[in-house]
Structure 1
Amino acid sequence: MSMEIESKFNMFLNDDGRPKRTGNLMTVSSHIITAVIGSGVLSLAWAIGQLGWIAGPAIMIFFAIVTFFASCLQTECYRTGDLFHGKRNYTYMEAVRSILGGMNVKFCGIIQYVNLVGVCIGYTIASSISMMAVQRSNCYHSKGHDNPCKVDGNAYMIVFGVFEILLSHIPNFDQLSWLSILAAIMSFTYSTIGLLLGILQVSANGTVKGSLTGISVGEITKTQKIWRSLQALGNIAFAYSFSNILLEIQDTLRSPPSEVKTMKKASLISVTMTTIFYMACGCFGYAAFGDLAPGNLLTGFGFYNPYWLVDIANLAIVIHLVGAYQVFAQPIFAYVEERVSDRFTNSSFITKEIHIPVPYSDSTISFSLFRSIWRTIFVIFTTLVAMLLPFFDAVVGILGAIGFWPLTVYFPVEMYIVQRKVPAWSKMWVCLKLLSGVALLISIGAVVGSIAGLQENFKHFKPFNIEY
């Protein structure tokens, strides 16, 4: 009898003793699209404007290829040793610890979690800008485009923070599938609207604006041209970033089929779809406005009409970012809570879970006082920092630059070399090392350019005085 009970119990558990994972190709693709097609798409017209018609699209395709290739390397690090039955690595940092070890673990942890926190801050900024854009759009419609229509962004950041505090009570990543699917739908909504508005604007202009080399020296100084071009690299890198949560997403997959096979398919689908959207949105945005392409396509008011369509796009951005924030915050929550639980195993405040029955349902909601307090503090922190640094373009550029080399390329390459025992100085080894070296140079340049852009923004900035 006991064996029968144990057998039934094991039906609900994976080989690692954890509850059965329920993710599939659709859910993980939704998670990736939610993470990738984020606020970064809105700055691509500006980025292409700095680089021009030749370098802009070419660099975007380069980042797409590198991102997909590196993600394929990274998926093979979900299990240590055997790709199908080896020990699971639930997080990026755990994979680095299992495969590389040493100082790599600390380096990875610092970069990954700083990047995740930064993305949460960036999404808070972007969502408030979109909410402000809705108010300004309606103001322009009723009072005319000559009216300044100044809007204070602090209140919108606080509203976004309140929503994130509520959603942060969702215990873990696997329970966020519905939110990711909704957010993915919203990302396609506003990307499509931005694309359509760009096409309509090009049609209205009767010509394709822009130049082969981007904004010319004369309109800006030589130094500004260099800094802006480098910052554009960071913006494009940010638009493709999802490597820092790839393994966390992969850990939601059920098997069979193999998690590696499903994740590679999901990466190909997601990167292909996002690249098509990115090329269309970025190129049509640049074609519509040329060198005057705004840093945020839907909130920089390159488009005024139809105002209701612009409003729908910005509301879709807000809904998307509400979900995307959680996709990036959940790995932080899980890491901190696991470490604290391991350290204070006898503390009821830390470990006690209260299961609250859901009315008219057999399910329950898990509640922890520690989890509730700590996650609330985290959201308040990211909201306050966003209010201090409301610079969308520069923040996006810095985040993309910091994360691109180490998280997207370096660690996946090094882990793959160790996992597959790639011989030193073989063709594969040399190619992988060259790729890592090129990515390092791009990241350094993008960081420098983005910091220069941030310094320029600080010249006209007053803390907690967010007006657009």
Structure 2
Amino acid sequence: MGSQPAPYESPVKARSEKEKAIEEWLPISASRNAKWWYSAFHNVTAMVGAGVLGLPHAMSELGWGPGVVILILSWVITLYTLWQMVEMHEMVPGKRFDRYHELGQQAFGEKLGLWIVVPQQLLVEISVDIVYMVTGGTSLKKFHDVIVPDKKIKLTYFIMIFGSCHFFLAFLPNFNAISGVSLAAAIMSLSYSTIAWTASVHKGVQENVDYSYIASTTTGKVFNFLSALGSVAFAYAGHNVVLEIQATIPSTPERPSKKPMWRGVLVAYIIVAICYFPVALVGFYIFGNSVDGNILISLDKPKWLIAMANMFVVIHVIGSYQIYAIPVFDMMETVLVKKLHFTPCFRLRFFTRTTYVALTMFAGMTFPFFDGLLGFFGGFAFAPTTYFLPCIMWLAIYKPRIFSLSWCTNWICIILGLLLMILAPIGGLRSIIIDAKNYHFYS
């Protein structure tokens, strides 16, 4: 009496079931029951962040005319490229491009698509999380200094305090699991942006306010202008997670995900305009070229309001950090499970996510140059993925007729985006070098 042979199972079927189980474990494709308003507040949380606080300072380096034009142009161009990405999410019937690099592979080929998109996307998401460590720590320090002005504590410690909460939040498995955190963050962003410009109005135009460029030399003016371009680019950074957010929305042939997603994006962009334009214009109008790299640092009265605004920033960047971290977690876990054949489990998730949080916290503590970081990363990393990579993909996939409206619009965006990518990091790098001269590590 030998043991009965096991029933035959098709290796293809077994493999597809295994792959399905892996997809349901990975954070991006785990849950597809999001509503359109999830898209709205995820996009607000992704977009409105550290960047909005640096806009008045960017205006002081751009000047009134160029500053207003660049703000409006950036809002229009990035809304257009975001619309393209939402449209391309399901351009192949029956297939969803849940991740930015999957769309890149469709446009440029399997290998080339990965090499073009993944390094840029990782650079954006990791750099944002490093800047958010600095922003969270700086805002916590400002909150403490307003409440307890006599006791000074190093910025390094505040970055560690801010970073420590992410060792717990990192274990929320996917986008839908962080929807509560993201909603709170979106409300906070609208709140502190409103406080920033209303408190500026309350403070009134400063005596001897000066709207001229702060740099005295032509070289200084040019470099500051370039750095400010990067700060504006940093403010419009939500594209790097837009396909991943859309992946959480259910889709059928009758009701594709692009309809609810686009509704959420439009609501988000209206909120972005309500946050960005008053903060940038009012902040510069009140303080002129003496405005700080972070507008809330320039404000000190009324104390309770400024303390509250800084705590709102902390709550917001907690949510923003997670929005940008989840696609990185997804990439790391995908490689470990699919390429290196690790078993999907909590221990694997614990190792990857705690390591990532620890590294971004360490980088933020080591290089806390807020406005220089915005300018450098804004141009070098954000301009491609936000301003012109969606346009290149659109041209590669849809192949619009030469000199048609679509063709011309995309090429204008590509040229402006390339200029931004080349010029902005130069100014940002110079700003970091100047800041570094007087900086002591972990001070």
Picking from 342, 346, 349, the partner of 2:338 is: 342
After superposition, give the CA deviation of every residue in 1:32-61 in whole Å (9 maximum; x if it has no partner). 000111011111111111112211121101
Contact kept? 1:234, 1:447, Cα under 8 Å: yes
Aligned to 1:159: 161
Q: Distance in 2 between matches of 1:238 and 1:20?
A: 29
Cα displacement (A) at 1:343:
2.4
Per the normalisation by structure 2, the TM-score is: 0.89
In structure 1, runs of 5+ residues without a counterpart are: 1-12, 144-148, 354-367
Q: Deviations over 1:214-260 (max 9, x none)?
A: 4255xx32211111111111111111111111100111112353211
Asked whether the 8 Å contact 1:49–1:215 carries over to 2, the reply is: yes
Asked if 1:254 corresponds to 2:288, the answer is no
User: Partners of 2:148 and 2:217 in 1: how far apart?
Assistant: 35
Deviation readout 1:320-370 (Å, 9 max, x if unpaired): 11111000000000111011101243x4xx32x4xxxxxxxxxxxxxx011
Identity of aligned residues (%): 28
Question: Do the aligned partners of 1:81 and 1:419 also contact (CA within 8 Å) in 2?
Answer: no
Q: 1:58 to 1:209 in 2, by over 3 A?
A: farther
> Residue 66 of structure 1 corresponds to which residue in structure 2?
77
Any conservation in 2 of the 1:80–1:419 contact (CA below 8 Å)? no
Deviates more, 1:252-261 or 1:272-281: 252-261
Secondary structure at 2:63's aligned position in 1? helix
The aligned counterpart of 1:364 is: none
- What is aligned with 1:333? 329
Q: Is the 8 A contact 1:238 1:396 kept in 2?
A: yes
- 1:399 CA displacement: 1.7
1:233 and 2:235 aligned: no
How far the C-alpha of 1:139 sits from its partner, in A, is 3.8
- Within the alignment, does 1:392 sit opposite 2:388 as a pair? no
SS of the equivalent of 1:88 reads: coil
Residues 1:43 and 2:21 are matched in the alignment: no
Whole-angstrom CA distance in 2 between matches of 1:57 and 1:342: 47
User: Within 5 Å, which residues of 2 pair with 1:270-289?
Assistant: 270-289=268-287
AA matched with 2:178: L
C-alpha distance in structure 1 between counterparts of 2:399 and 2:280, whole Å: 40
- Secondary structure of the corresponding residue to residue 21 of structure 1: coil
Tell me how far 1:424 sits from its aligned partner.
Answer: 4.0
The structural deviation recorded for 1:80 is 4.0
More helix by percentage: 2
2:366 maps to 1:410: no
Partner of residue 433, structure 1: 411
**Partner of 2:439 in structure 1?**
461
- Which of 104, 114, 118 is residue 96 of structure 1 equivalent to? 104
- Which deviations, in whole Å up to 9, do the C-alpha atoms of 1:114-144 show, x marking residues without a partner? 110010000000000001101221244xx5x
For residues 39 and 405 of structure 1, the distance between their equivalents in structure 2, rounded to whole angstroms, comes to 16
Q: 1:376 to 1:216 in 2, by over 3 A?
A: closer
Letter in 2 for 1:190: Y
Using the alignment, how far apart are the partners of 2:213 and 2:388 within structure 1? 32
Give the gaps of 5 or more residues in structure 2.
Answer: 1-19
CA-to-aligned-CA distance 1:255-279 (integer Å, 9 cap, x gap): 3532112222222221222122211
Preserved contact between residue 44 and residue 268 of structure 2 (Cα < 8 Å): yes
Matched letter for residue 376 of structure 1 = T
Question: Please, which moves more after superposition, 325-334 or 284-293?
Answer: 284-293
Aligned counterparts, 1:45-444, within 5 A? 45-82=56-93, 86-101=94-109, 102-140=111-149, 150-202=152-204, 205=206, 209-211=209-211, 214-217=212-215, 220-255=216-251, 257-299=255-297, 302-345=298-341, 347=342, 350-351=343-344, 353=345, 368-444=346-422
Give the superposed CA RMSD. 2.0
Shift of 1:160: 1.6
1:19–1:450 Cα change, 3 Å? closer
Closer, same or farther: CA 268–210 of 1 in aligned 2, 3 Å = farther
